[in-house]
């Protein structure tokens, strides 16, 4: 015997409750109950046929990009059987393709470091978009395919990258960021290691911009209440100012990348 999803069980219980003791109610209430029972019957049929039926959904996940990584949260509200309006927040980090982590220069201490890196570059994107179902599951073991597209505001955050270097005058080690005055030390041969994760947070600079994103979403979750799938897509961000990440790399305003995301979440009827 096939397992019923939670939505089917719930709907069946509502039908059974509505079917009891209807003779004592006025005709108006009976008509409303009949309409309600018919609606739930249609819902049961759709769920059994593999159709995604829900009122809203909440999705979170991790994404792996061709130039970094990130996490996201998405809230969606279904408008029609195929269209869902989505609101999405992504937090990502973009890395340069020129980045190469080197071992610590210290004998007993020091952190691995990236030579020539001058800033960590984070992004927070807040967007509005739509999910459009291209193909329903067909059955509980099927895969629903959707097109997803969104756009909106992108806030870039630059955090200075610090290095620990030996003092050329023989004093205690110094922790420095890239400046013209300290460029010789920052790019020299006396680097001990990275300055640590605690450095630079109070010095972050904001860079406003915009983004667009498009993707295909594959939902293979067995039950409608659970979102489980992957998303494969492309995204692009544009900033008003150039973004300096590496010393010897051309600073860019435009970033274009591919990504794949793992999706997890819940739906509510």
Residue ranges of the domains in the chain?
1-48, 55-268
Query: Can you give the pLDDT at residue 23?
Result: 47
pLDDT score at 103: 87
Residue 120: predicted pLDDT: 97
* CATH class as words, domain 55-268: mainly beta
What is the per-residue pLDDT for 105?
66
Q: Give the HSE-up count for residue 124: Cα atoms under 13 Å, Cβ half-sphere.
A: 6
> What is the C-alpha to C-alpha distance for residues 22 and 30, in angstroms, rounded to an integer?
7
Tens of pLDDT, residue by residue over 72-128, are 999 999 998 889 999 999 999 999 998 998 887 655 566 899 999 999 999 999 999
Quick one: pLDDT at residue 225?
81
Question: How far is residue 163 CA from its own chain's centroid?
Answer: 30
pLDDT at residue 128, as a whole number: 98
Q: Which residues of the chain have pLDDT under 50?
A: 1-11, 13-15, 17, 19, 21-24, 49-50
By the 10 Å C-beta count (0-12 exposed, 13-18 middle, 19+ buried), 101 is classed as exposed
């Amino acid at each position: 015997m096939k397992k019923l999803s939670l939505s089917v069980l719930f709907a069946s219980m509502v039908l059974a409750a509505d079917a009891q003791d209807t003779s004592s109610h006025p005709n108006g209430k009976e008509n409303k109950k009949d309409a309600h029972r018919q609606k739930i019957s249609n819902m049961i049929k759709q769920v059994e046929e593999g159709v995604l039926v829900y009122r809203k959904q909440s999705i979170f996940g991790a994404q792996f990009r061709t130039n970094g990584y990130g996490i996201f949260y998405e809230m969606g509200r279904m408008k029609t059987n195929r269209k869902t309006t989505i609101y999405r927040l992504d937090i990502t980090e973009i890395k340069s393709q020129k980045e190469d982590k080197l071992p610590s220069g210290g004998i007993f201490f020091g952190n691995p470091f990236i030579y020539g890196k001058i800033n960590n570059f984070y992004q927070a994107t807040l967007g509005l978009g739509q999910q459009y179902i291209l193909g329903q599951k067909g059955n509980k073991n099927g895969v629903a395919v959707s097109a997803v597209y969104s756009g909106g505001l992108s806030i870039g955050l630059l955090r200075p990258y610090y290095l620990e270097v030996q003092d050329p005058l023989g004093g205690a080690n110094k922790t420095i960021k890239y400046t013209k005055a300290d460029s010789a030390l920052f790019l020299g041969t006396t680097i001990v290691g990275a300055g640590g994760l605690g450095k630079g947070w109070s010095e972050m600079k904001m860079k406003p911009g915009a983004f667009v994103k498009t993707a295909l979403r594959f939902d293979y979750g067995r039950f409608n209440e659970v979102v489980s799938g992957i998303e494969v897509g492309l995204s692009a961000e544009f900033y008003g100012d150039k973004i300096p990440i590496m010393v010897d790399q051309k600073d860019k305003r435009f970033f274009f990348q591919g990504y794949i995301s793992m999706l997890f979440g819940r739906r509510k009827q």
